[in-house]
Structure 1
């Protein structure tokens, strides 16, 4: 994703917030998370993982595994707490929908 595409995603996110479009917010959160991972923005990826989890985005095991690895290697309790909270949000959502 280049800068132009990044700006478009951020604009779409702002619009989704204004009109309260949960699906669009989740899609934007995933796009921003994937960009952070691709660019090696480790701390930002953890923040965006948590944002995506809060928005109900369909996170993959790769998203979570990457951020868990970042949190393990970082000496920041806040990052570990964010990943732990993101996992809890995912478990609650999975349990409530009956998905496995």
Structure 2
């Protein structure tokens, strides 16, 4: 599940409610994560396709693991769900 760990930085940018409750350094980290996701989302459709994912240096296996609906796109919700499942598995 290493790809999930890597994707965690992307996920945090999409937790607006949590971001508002965080300290400024955490909010800054979320802003950086959102910026990284937006930069990776070359076609600006709000999701990452496999080409965009791999352009970030990520492996296809991680993409396939997180693409819950198998539509060829990773949405922030899918990333969040994958991270939640990983955290639950860890403990």
Instruction: Please give the range of the TM-score, normalised by the shorter of the 2 chains.
Output: 0.3 to 0.5
Which structure has the highest strand share of the two? 2
- Higher-Rg structure is 1
Which structure has the highest helix share of the two? 1
